Amino acid sequence: MVIKVHGVAQSTCTQRVLTALIEKNVPYELVKIDFMTGEHKSEAFLKMQPFGKVPALEEDGVFIFESRAIAKYIARKFAGQGTKLMPADDDLIGYALFEQGCSLENAYFDKPASSIAYEKMFKKFRGLGGPDEALVKKYSDDLDGILAVYDGILAKQAYLAGDKVSLADLFHLPYGNVVKQTGGAELFAKHPNVDRWFTALENRESWVKIGQLQN
């Protein structure tokens, strides 16, 4: 059975999963969820994702939700093909550094980046008016400080978990891209190692294909 991803191409978390699938050369079907009709809160969808969020992965009657967990599942299950996105099971140091990189994204980067995305983009989509510029500045200042630390890490290595790309890096793409596209590009450009790192991620074939899905 072909893996089904229940979500929408415009969803940042759905993009996180689709990027992993494309990197691993895994065929998939994107099953579009209609937010306008409230399908994400329907009984059928809540059986797949009890919080009513996207995406949810379906494979042979098994359902997995939370985009980072789904991406790690994909990377582990299809370890022998496509881009190697996680360390081997017996590489304990490599795995620790990988999880460290994933934690950087989840614990430090995600809050300010996703909050900027909410203020600058998602509020409008939900009919909640324009951005609160005071909050945008606060979250931008927070993100600037975090990227300054990233810049020091990336001065010593090409990627967050070492010298090879991994999910720890790719997890940053969806919200980082929204920040750049909504006026925050200078936050990346002012940190040369971050700028080099993130530009390379955006130029990956998988992310280019994600952009094409939205057209």
Locate the domains of the chain by residue range.
Answer: 3-85, 92-209
Q: What is the pLDDT of residue 179?
A: 98
Place of tokens 């790719």: 170
Cα separation of 133 and 44, whole Å? 38
CA distance 13 to 50: 16
For tokens 């460290």, the residue is 100
Tell me, what's the pLDDT at 58?
A: 97
Give the pLDDT confidence of 9-35 residue by residue, as tens digits: 999 999 999 999 999 999 999 999 998
Q: How confident is the model at residue 105 (pLDDT cuts 50, 70, 90)?
A: very high
In the predicted model, is pLDDT for residue 124 greater than 90?
A: no
Report the 10 Å Cβ neighbour count for 46. 13
The pLDDT tens digits of the residues spanning 180-211 come to: 999 999 999 999 999 999 999 999 999 999 99
Q: Give me the amino acid identity at 94.
A: G
Query: Bigger pLDDT: 138 or 35?
Result: 138
Q: Is 118 helix (H, G, I), strand (E, B) or coil?
A: helix
CA 125 – CA 128 distance, rounded (Å): 8
Residue ranges of alpha helices (H) inside 106-191 are 110-117, 123-125, 133-154, 167-170, 173-179, 185-189
The mean predicted confidence, pLDDT, of the chain is 96
The pLDDT, as a whole number, for residue 129 is 85
pLDDT at residue 50, as a whole number: 97
The amino acid occupying position 198 is F
Q: In this structure, are residues 9 and 30 in contact, taking their beta carbons and an 8 Å threshold?
A: yes
pLDDT bracket for residue 214 (50, 70, 90): confident
Residue 37: burial class (beta carbons within 10 Å; 0-12, 13-18, 19+): exposed
The domain 92-209 is classified under which CATH number: 1.10.1660.10, 1.20.1050.10, 3.40.50.11930, 1.20.1510.10? 1.20.1050.10
Overall average pLDDT of the 59-83 stretch? 97
Q: How far apart (Å, rounded) are the C-alpha atoms in residues 91 and 98? A: 10
Q: What percent of the chain has pLDDT over 70?
A: 100
Yes or no: say if 123 and 131 are a contact pair by the CB < 8 Å rule: yes
**CATH number 3.40.30.10 given to 3-85:** yes
* 206 Cβ contact partners less than 8 Å away, ≥ 6 residues apart: 19, 22, 23, 170
